[in-house]
Structures are given as structure tokens and as C-alpha cells.
Structure 1
Amino acid sequence: MKKKIVAYNRVEQPVLDDLKEKYDVRFFKNVDTKNDPEFLGHLSESEGIIGLGTPIDAELLDNAPNLKIISNVSVGYNNLDLGEMNKRNIMGTNTPGILTDTVADAVFGILAATARRIPELDHFVKNGEWQAEAIGEECYGINIHHKTLGIIGMGRIGKAIAQRGHFGFDMDILYHSRNRKPDAEKTFDAGYRELDALLEESDYVVMITPLTPETEGMIGKREFQKMKSSAIFINGSRGKTVVEQDLIEALENGEIASAGLDVYEQEPVASDNPLLTMKNVVTTPHIGSSTHETELSMSKLAGENLEAGLRGERPPNLVNPEAFNENE
């Protein structure tokens, strides 16, 4: 009898097809994982979960007595309650490395789009508002080159963003992270700063930290008031690293110039969110890793993680080794 697996959201079809040849796989998309009877019925007999964004907590795990591994199709794993998983010897995995350049491309694209007001001016042209050959200052943007880029979180993606800014746009790079990064300091001539100093000195502030208890709400009213009034804020990390209402007020009050956002406190964004009506805000729907090539590579790696765990082996990208050690 084939082992049962739950697949949930954003598992690419070639990987899903491959898994279905080997396992009894049921795919679910955007269902209520706490109340959907079909999901819970299959979960109760499943040994593995693969997918994106499924909240894993004690309540869900109580319905999954046979579960051995949860394979996230993402680098982040803040949806996993690792403490509960460790108690039950359930392994968790992620897909690091693959999406580094893709996310950095997206973040820098959002930065450029915000600085040069590209979405706003695209509508300006398409709506027939471009009436004179020479545009006026109402269409002017802000330079990127030779400005100061402050990066909060100098991990793989932070370094890739620094690379683009330093070598591509001759930007001065500042960074703040839990630990100093000598390699980034050498390669990108990056300067380490305490958070307040980074906020005060940077023309562009890019948030690219994981969501942890330490980073939740890390940027709020006080931090926005530290920034230059001409600063542009970019969030490519997780929505809850920022106090969204404080961001809205900072934009409304002119404490910062503009923002580019790929992530939000609530996703999808509520239609009445004030950010959606602000001309000085560029919004994208959490597109960080969303290219055909990257999504397929992430799904493949998640599949490898899943199958290793089902075989009782240590998965390549195990995030809670305690669970595996206890299984040995």
C-alpha cells in the first residue's frame, strides 16, 4: 500500500505528478486546514505534507498521528511550530538557496519601480494623461545610482541585493544584522550599522529579515521617524516584520517619501487597505520567488526533502535536527 501524502498549495505539476506515481497524494488549494473534512480525513492517515503556507500547530498535529515530515516549498518556515513538531518527532524542511537571486531581482525591481514611479507613470501614459512632449516635475522620480542602500538582514538574499546595488548602481551599502558579515564588508565595501544609524543614513531601506519573535514588528513608528523624509522603504521579508498602520501613517504624514511592498500583515491584502490607494506606494502580491524556473526548482527540492524523510533518512534541508536525532 502506498504511503499517503498531503500536498497543499504551490507544488509544481511535474513534481506533483512524480509524487503521485510513488505515493497516495491528495492535493488541496486554499482550503481551511482546520475545518475542511476532506483535508482532515486524508491528513489523519498521511505520513508527509508538502506545500506552502500550511499553518502547523498543535491543533493540526493532533489530527495527524502518522506524520513524519513537513516539507515547506519556501525558504521561510515561520508557519511551523517546531516545538510541537519536536515533541512528536516530526521533521520540518525548507528550500534555501534556490530563490536567492530571484528574490533579489524582485526586491531590486520593486525598489527601481518605486524610485522611478514606474507603475504610476504607466497608468499616466495608458490613461491618456501624457499630453505634452516634455513631462513636468510632477512625473519626476528619484535617482538610485550613487545613493545609500541600507539593508536590514544580510543573509543570502541581503548579500544578493547588496551585490546589485554596489556593482550595478554604484550605491554605498550599509547593513544591520544579528552578526557582522566580514565577507559582505569586503566584497561590497558594506558598512555595519546599528539599526538607528542605518535608518538615519540610508536613502533606501530594504527589509529582508526572516520573521522571528525578534523581528516581528521590528519597524514601526519610532523607526519610520528615524528615516529621512526623502527615504524609500522596501519590504521583501514578511509583512509582520513591519507595523503596517505605522507605515501608513508615516506615508500619510510625509515622514518617508514612498514604499515598495511585496508582503503585508494580511495576505491577500484587504480591498480597503489604505496602502492600495496611495500613489507613492508600489504593491506586488508576494512575488519574491515567483518565476517558472525558481518555483519548479523549489518544488523539486521540497520533493527530495519529503522523500528522504519518508525513507527515514535525514533530509537535505532539515530545520529541526532534534526531531531526526530522536528518531535514530
Structure 2
Amino acid sequence: MNILFGGKAFLRLWDVLSPAFQEHSLDVAEDEEIPSKLPWADIFVIRPMTIDKDILKYGAKLKLVQQWGVGVEGLNVEDCTEAGVYACNIPSRGTGNAEGVAEIAILHMMLLARRYHRAKEKLQEGKVFTPPGVTLWGKRACVIGLGNLGHCVVERLKGLGMSVTGVNRTHREEFSQWGVDTFYSLAEMEKALAGCRFVILALALTPETYHSIAEPFFQSMDRDAFFINVARGDIVVREAFDKALQNKWIAGAGFDVFWKEPPEITDPILNHPLVTTTPHIGGVTDASLNGAIDFIVKNVQRVALGEEPYSCLNSRDLQRKKTL
């Protein structure tokens, strides 16, 4: 199979990609090279980028567009279906992605709870045993979004001795088995926040969740609670967050995702004493790299054999299209 990787970022992984796909022909395309290189490709592996009919029209023999990662905000699945092309992402749980992102959520919780910025200042002043912090043990956390990522977060919170309130669009029986003590629907989200010292956002970005975290949400949080976003920046209304921080509706916040990525280096959020930030590295780990490669290798093999790939986002629509 001819496999085209979209973006020079994949060149940094070439030493790992080449042996993994040694039975196939590989190439990399910069954005401006896609129109000339895509006609060659059977499979197009993409980073977060826009893929729609204007790109797909160049893929004369294209069989699969494979997202490298979980989020598919830029991948127009309907256009893939219209072109007769499989559209797939990488499932987060079991590939190292959700596991890594859950760990970065815990990192932000700990940094905020132990007042890391202030602790560094005290140490540089030659002082120890200060500032006092907050233990996670014995506290209640609210996890908003109980998909694969939320599941991984809940597991880790329970291991730290925390109580968990879960929020999700629909209820499933297995939530209690994971360790969710109390459940609320998304429509009741603001009611779920009372008594929660930590609030972790783990929702997928959809038209329904876009800007769903607004002023009423932050006003409903306890004043000593911390907000952690490891989901997507655009789920949160930026102006509402800034107001919450300024008015001390919340005690602090941690972000691994932003409204614009990368954020402007002058963005005050990056140096705010009550905010911890990381450069969207939750899913950037050894485990997630190996998990992504292993998963894509399997999908390439399935497509080569004429079988439907795993984690296909347009399976039913393609089947329906074939019967018309």
C-alpha cells in the first residue's frame, strides 16, 4: 500500500515509522504538496488538519483517511463518505492516549493543590515547610464527560482515595462499577459542581458542547475549587473563564489545551500565578506513540485485505451508500 503522511511533523518520527510500515511505500507531504502527492496514496495519515472535499478530490485511489489521534475536528467525515473513503481515528483508551491525558489531569490537580508556583517562590527565598497545600485524598472531584478519557480519569481518582461525581449526556450502568459515586446529566451539570474541590473537563468537542462551559458554570463552582481542562479549549467560553479567575469564583485552573494552539506567548494565562499550563502534551508519550503506530499498522493491513478498518467513523454511511 502507498501511505502518505500529512505534515513535516511526521519526519521526526521517521526512524520509528519506517520499520513499522516496512512492507509498504511511505512518503510525507507538506500542505502545499498534498495536491501533487495525494493521487499516489492509498492511505492518508493526517495530523490535526482540515480534510474535506477540496482535498479529497485529489485522492483518486484513496481508501482510508486515518487521523493520528482521537480528535477529528478538522476531518469532514461526510465528505469522506461522499468520496467513498473510510474515515478513522485512533481510539483513546487502550492505546496510551486516554491514559496519558488522564495522568496530565492528575498532574495539574497536584500542582494546583500544592500551590506549585508559590512553592517554587518560597524555596527560592530559602524557606521550607510552606506553603500549606491540599491533599487529593478524601476530596470530591467532578469529571465532566465519561467517555474513554473520563473513564481513565475516574480510575485514577479512585486510586487516590477521592469521591467522584460524574457528568455525561447519558447514563450507563457501568459508571458505578468504574467508581462514579454520583451521576448527573449534562443538562444538570451546574448542580453537579457543589462540594467538588476539583472539576475535570473530559468532554469531546461537538456542536452540543461548544462553549457549554460559560459564566453560570463557573459561578456554580465552589470558591475553593480548581478547574482542569484536558479536553478542548473551545468547550469553554474564554471571557467567562477570565471573569471567573478575576472575580475569584474559582481557586485556580490547569490547562493542557487552549483556545488557540499554540497560544500567543503574551497570553496572560501562561504566567498567571493561579494557573498551571502544559503545551497539549497529555497524549504525547511513549505509550501513545507506540499505541498509535500499532493501531494504524492494523488498519493498513485490514484495508490491504479489503476489510473494514477499526474505529471507522463512517462505516454505516458507507455501507448505506454502497446499497443505493
TM-score by length of 1: 0.87
Shift of 1:254: 0.7
Q: Give deviations 1:170-210, integer Å, cap 9, x for gaps.
A: 22210110111322224415211220111233211100011
Identity %: 24
Quote the Cα distance in structure 1 between the aligned partners of 2:69 and 2:157: 25
Q: Which moved more, 1:200-209 or 1:279-288?
A: 200-209
Q: 2:90 aligns with which of 88, 95, 98?
A: 95
1:78 matched to 2:102: no
Q: 1:115 aligns with which of 107, 113, 116?
A: 113
- Quickly say closer, same or farther: Cα 1:123–1:18, change in 2 above 3 A: farther
Q: 1:173 aligns with which of 164, 177, 189?
A: 164
Asked if the contact 2:122/2:128 (under 8 Å) is kept, the reply is no
Q: Give deviations 1:264-301, integer Å, cap 9, x for gaps.
A: 11111111212112111000011112211221221221
* Code of the aligned partner of 1:222: P
Quote the Cα distance in structure 1 between the aligned partners of 2:20 and 2:115: 44
Q: Give deviations 1:236-255, integer Å, cap 9, x for gaps.
A: 11111111232122112211
Q: How many residues were matched structurally?
A: 314
Quote the Cα distance in structure 1 between the aligned partners of 2:303 and 2:175: 35
Q: What SS does the corresponding residue of 1:230 show, helix, strand or coil?
A: coil
- Quickly say closer, same or farther: Cα 1:16–1:186, change in 2 above 3 A: closer
- State how 1:261-280 maps to structure 2 within 5 Å: 261-280=255-274
Shift of 1:10: 4.8
Shift of 1:221: 1.7
Alignment match, 1:150: 142
Q: 1:183 aligns with which of 174, 181, 194?
A: 174
- State how 1:178-327 maps to structure 2 within 5 Å: 178-193=169-184, 194-322=188-316, 324-325=318-319, 326=321
Q: What SS does the corresponding residue of 2:79 show, helix, strand or coil?
A: helix
Q: 2:55 aligns with which of 54, 60, 83?
A: 60
Asked if the contact 2:89/2:311 (under 8 Å) is kept, the reply is yes
Q: Which moved more, 1:202-211 or 1:70-79?
A: 70-79
Quote the Cα distance in structure 1 between the aligned partners of 2:112 and 2:202: 17
* Code of the aligned partner of 1:142: V
Quote the Cα distance in structure 2 between the aligned partners of 1:221 and 1:205: 15
Shift of 1:124: 4.8
Shift of 1:121: 2.6
* Code of the aligned partner of 1:309: V
Asked if the contact 2:117/2:273 (under 8 Å) is kept, the reply is no
* Code of the aligned partner of 1:280: L
1:162 matched to 2:154: yes
Q: Which moved more, 1:306-315 or 1:18-27?
A: 18-27
Shift of 1:119: 4.7
Quote the Cα distance in structure 1 between the aligned partners of 2:137 and 2:292: 33
* Code of the aligned partner of 2:86: M
* Code of the aligned partner of 2:295: L
TM-score by length of 2: 0.88
Asked if the contact 1:50/1:303 (under 8 Å) is kept, the reply is no
Q: Which moved more, 1:92-101 or 1:233-242?
A: 92-101
- State how 1:8-27 maps to structure 2 within 5 Å: 8=7, 9-10=9-10, 12-13=13-14, 16-18=17-19, 21-27=22-28
Quote the Cα distance in structure 2 between the aligned partners of 1:107 and 1:134: 25
Shift of 1:27: 2.0
Quote the Cα distance in structure 2 between the aligned partners of 1:7 and 1:143: 44
